[in-house]
Amino acid sequence: MSTTAKHQQGTPIALLDSLEKIQQKFEQKKARQAQQLLEQGYTPELVRELEAEAKPRDPGKKVSPHKLGRGATSARLIEQAQLQLFEGEQRGDFKQFNIEPNSEYPSLLARVPVFAPGQRSKMAARLDKDLAMHFETGWGKGRKFGPPLTIYDEDTLLAILGLRQRQLVGVGSKMPMPVMHPGNPAEETNVQVVFTTIGEIQEFLGLTKGGSGHNRRLASVKRLAGVVIEFTRASDPAMNSVIKGGSFSTKIIDLVTQDLEKESCLYIQLPPVMVKWLSHSYTYIEMDVRRHLTDHGKAIHKFLASQRNFNVTIEKLKEITGSLLPKREFVRVTRQTMKTLQSIGWCEYSIDGNGRSKPLVLKGSRLPRRGASQAASRDLAK
């Protein structure tokens, strides 16, 4: 983006062409998004509101010359990476256009315990003989390879998703991080890219940039990049065209950045399957709501957010969230979470049953978003 502005005076027509393309894709994507939201039960009014909120990030901020301090390192690296993209585009490796992230999160990931609440060290107990974590819920079945992931890592992912900037379209092998089209290697594919810094991720999550949080967050990004998810079953219409022989696997993010210790700039690429999910099969996770919750709360909220009305046994909810708590404790945190969610106007609910003859069942429905955001901002204000 910044590169666009910078190169506009005195530069190739091709660039101006691509700007036009960017604009067109913008509008298409917007329309599609609006449609999705309507289908998910948002009112037209709220859809407009969400659109208004989804402003592109301020492009000039990072690289305006007079603001360069020590952060110049990051800013410069980001600029370089962006320049590379333009060169790639000029060479015809791929086409690119800007995107407006809007808190989308893959629905399938919200319904499967890939990110679990609790301590990472306790999660090794779940590994099978291939050192993979098996999962199975009503929505999907498969395994996760790589380091255990917690809700903390999910926050990292949400921030990365919220900060993504561009979509690249082209042959997989020519992308900054070469990928394979999940169905047909010869076909054009889509990836999305993010240039960011650890500080920016922290800021997105409402945290300060200082402290040991910095190192932990970087470690978290690395973990995300080290994970591969394999699905052997997935009830997800968006994946029908991709799944061959019933199974597929994907990384969550690719880390293009080489020298993480020396350079604080992260250059991240989202693989084709993620892009597919994010544009065709996503759940809207409001960070304002999420910020009020504990880790278990976040896990529960993410699942409930993927459904308009919910009706699920506490037992199933525990499986879906991947909680390691004893059932008794899980019930307690669920009650606590639901109380919070209701108090900020996100949903109404009831928990029926006695846990013995009749299982505990959580029922309820999301409330219109307006209430939630108002309550949330009210809470934040005080």
Binding site residues, DNA, CB under 7 A: 65-74, 117-122, 150, 152, 155, 197-199, 206-216, 218, 264, 294-296, 324-325, 329, 333
Where does 92-212 have alpha helices with state H? 107-110, 151-162, 198-204
Pairing of β 94-98 and β 265-270:
unpaired
Cα distance between residue 170 and residue 254, in whole Å: 17
30-33, Cβ contacts within 8 angstroms, sequence gap of 24 or more: 30/100, 32/279, 33/102
Q: How far is the CB of 331 from DNA (least distance, A)?
A: 12
- Whether 246 contacts 252, CB under 8 Å: no
Q: How far is the CB of 58 from DNA (least distance, A)?
A: 13
Where does 180-308 have alpha helices with state H? 198-204, 213-225, 272-280, 287-290, 295-305
Cα distance between residue 102 and residue 53, in whole Å: 8
Q: How far is the CB of 137 from DNA (least distance, A)?
A: 20
Q: Which is nearer to DNA, 90 or 208 (CB)?
A: 208
Cα distance between residue 177 and residue 225, in whole Å: 12
Q: How far is the CB of 82 from DNA (least distance, A)?
A: 17
Q: Which is nearer to DNA, 109 or 151 (CB)?
A: 151
Q: Which is nearer to DNA, 71 or 371 (CB)?
A: 71
Q: Which is nearer to DNA, 296 or 318 (CB)?
A: 296
| DSSP bridge partners of 256 | none
Q: Which is nearer to DNA, 332 or 363 (CB)?
A: 332
Q: How far is the CB of 126 from DNA (least distance, A)?
A: 12
Tell me which residue has tokens 């690119």.
96
Q: How far is the CB of 264 from DNA (least distance, A)?
A: 4
Q: Which is nearer to DNA, 32 or 216 (CB)?
A: 216
